[in-house]
Amino acid sequence: MATADAGREALVALNASAAFNRWAGFELGAVAAGAIELRLPWREELGQYAGYLHAALIGAMIDTACGFAAYIQVGNVLASHFAVNCLAPATGELFIARARIVKAGRRQVFTAAELFASRAGVERLVATGQAILVPVEAAA
């Protein structure tokens, strides 16, 4: 993308186009070259039986944040592999995934992310992850 503003606008549109992202409530935070922030306000229906953010949403945030970081640099991508490490129970008022490109090649983009739970403005690291993404043509 030509500028950070153009990259942000493209990501806002991309995020709005995904039904899952709209349902989950993903919001775009900071955007820089090869790095993004994805936010998710807590809602009860996002929790698992003990009241923590469900691991499926943890994985979705890491996958989406990594994909968005790659999208800024290479356009449309699909994950060919991603891994998540849950480090602590995810409880908070807001969840923030920060993702960045580690290395971008022609055929693969390597990314990494950290997920933080925020309560009263204090952030706590609850998960980390990595994704390998492959550039693709836009779906018809």
pLDDT digits (tens, 9 = 90+) for 55-114: 999 999 999 999 999 999 999 999 999 999 999 999 999 999 999 999 999 999 999 999
End-to-end, the C-alpha distance of the chain in Å comes to 22
Of 95, 97, 83, 90, give the one whose Cα is nearest residue 47. Answer: 90
> Domain spanning 4-135: which CATH class is it, in words?
alpha beta
Q: Please enumerate in sequence order all residues whose Cβ is within 8 A of that of 109, keeping only pairs 6 or more positions apart, or say none.
A: 70, 73, 74, 77, 101, 103, 132, 133, 134, 135
Best CA proximity match to 133, nearest among 97, 107, 99: 107
- Give this prediction's pTM: 0.93
Q: Model confidence over 23-53: pLDDT tens digits?
A: 999 999 999 988 999 999 999 999 999 999 9
pLDDT of residue 93: 97
Length of the chain: 140
Q: How many CA atoms lie within 13 A of 7 on its CB side?
A: 21
**How far is it, in rounded angstroms, from Cα 65 to Cα 36?**
7
3-class state of residue 66 by DSSP? helix
